Amino acid sequence: MRKQIIEYTSPIDALVSLTNQLYEYEIQYKMDSAEFFTKYSQGETSDYEIFVECAGNYQHYLAIHQQLTTSQ
């Protein structure tokens, strides 16, 4: 899978994009992001590239969400 770097003009734009990506994973794998991340963190999923990507996106989502909520 070819990776690309995307730069956003604001944290909100990044959060919206990550939310959309996570939603697509949730639909595809029939599991919400928090549940998936818990299972992934506990080693209950494989290390397929898509799962690693999803876990990274979820961590990024949490970091941006926290940044936005604490800066208000």
Average pLDDT of the chain? 92
Choose among 48, 28, 51: nearest CA to 38: 51
Domain count, the chain: 1
In a domain, 55, yes or no: yes
Choose among 30, 71, 72, 37: nearest CA to 54: 37
Give yes or no for a contact between 14 and 64, defined as CB atoms under 8 angstroms apart.
yes
In a domain, 2, yes or no: no
Q: Which domain does 22 fall in, by range?
A: 11-70
Q: What is the reported pLDDT for 19? A: 97
In a domain, 3, yes or no: no
Give yes or no for a contact between 18 and 65, defined as CB atoms under 8 angstroms apart.
no
**In the predicted structure, residue 53 carries a pLDDT above the cut 80:** yes
In a domain, 6, yes or no: no
pTM: 0.86
